[in-house]
Chains A and B, each alone.
Chain A
Amino acid sequence: MSHLGELLSAHLDGELSPAERRRVAEHLEDCDRCREELDELASARSAVRSLPMVEVPASVLGLPDEVVVPLPRRKSFWAGAAAAAAAVFIVVASILAPDGTALTPQDLSDPFGARVSLDPGFTPTKVAQVRVATGDFAE
């Protein structure tokens, strides 16, 4: 009669097929040796399972920087190009702005600000005329 061997551990873990379960049950009824081994295996299994779960130190789940700090989302090509163009514009506008004309952030955000800064002859009055001409009568 062959003994149960590793079927005993699988039996303890509920990992047997129905056919194996029947074989183990029948064998254990008549085999002192396998019953003794089953007890020993159960003891070893219980010893490991009774080890306390160690609490994770808070610092562990604080996680490394690579995880905690989200990587910046990659900007699209066009977003990058627009930002570069805006930077170039600001630099050029600063260079070409007529003497005595103080550029303000509002100027630079105004669609006409570029013209004001780049064309000394393009005055705010002309800006107002253009606006009227385009139907912005509130001006």
Chain B
Amino acid sequence: MVETASDITWEDVARVYGRKIYNFAYRLTGNPDDAHDLVQEVLLRVRRGLPSYRPGSFEGWLWRITRNAFLDDVRRRKRRPTTALPDELDRTGLVSSPAPDEVLASIRLGEDVQKALLDLPYEFREAVVLCDIVGLSYDEIARAVEAPIGTVRSRIHRGRRMLRERLG
């Protein structure tokens, strides 16, 4: 755990958490450009915020910043997250061509799951992504989204049930 602000620099955050932050945004939006912008915005906010960081849950602090940056961006753009998934996957290099059948099937399954995620209401999608993509505990998610842990538990459960219905 990070005890003081001097224990960590924004470069550490970029190195250790950059990939997770990118994937958080990518799975919430399905859009690599949005993910790109979010990582940079989060790193700027971390850099400004580290001097005032107080010992506690660093993960909760970081993901609260990440979530707020994401929501601010959504409000600023005043648009719904894109669902243009297949092209985006192509651009990120996830799709290689030609691909063996089993790899291609795996990618298609991934596309289905991503589309199902994008269909979820934001609160449920966010809770599922923070739990299953980022790997946070319920307590860390509660700190990040500033909601009671019981609410987090409920959102994850309902989000998974909705996913299951959409995936068939």
Contacts and interface: CB of A to CB of B under 8 A. Distances in A.
A63 to B, nearest CB: 6
A41 B164 contact: yes
B43 interface: yes
Interface in B101-128: 109-110, 113-114, 117, 128
Contact of B163 (A47, A53, A67): A47
B36 interface: yes
Interface stretch (A7-15, A23-31, A79-87): A7-15
A48 interface: yes
Nearest to B154: A6
A51 B110 contact: yes
Interface residues of B, number: 42
A61 interface: yes
Given A41-B164, A51-B110, A51-B114, A9 B156 contact: yes
* Most A-side CB within 10 Å, residue of B14, B94, B138, B164: B164
Given A48-B133, A51-B27, A43 B164 contact: yes
B61 to A, nearest CB: 18
**Chain A interface, >50% SS class:** loop
Contact of B19 (A45, A49, A51, A53): A53
A24 to B, nearest CB: 13
B82 interface: no
A14 to B, nearest CB: 9
B131 to A, nearest CB: 7
B162 to A, nearest CB: 9
B26 interface: yes
A61 B154 contact: no
Given A64-B44, A67-B44, A10 B132 contact: no
Contacts of B32: 54, 57
A42 to B, nearest CB: 9
Given A13-B156, A40-B164, A54 B22 contact: yes
B64 interface: no
Contacts of A6: 153-154, 156-158
Contacts of A15: 137-138, 153
Interface of A: 5-6, 8-10, 13, 15, 40-41, 43-45, 47-57, 59-61, 63-64, 66-67
28 contacts: A6-B157, A6-B158, A8-B157, A9-B153, A9-B160, A10-B138, A10-B157, A41-B157, A41-B161, A41-B164, A44-B160, A45-B132, A47-B113, A47-B167, A48-B129, A51-B113, A52-B110, A53-B23, A54-B35, A54-B92, A55-B19, A55-B92, A57-B36, A60-B40, A61-B14, A61-B15, A63-B14, A67-B43
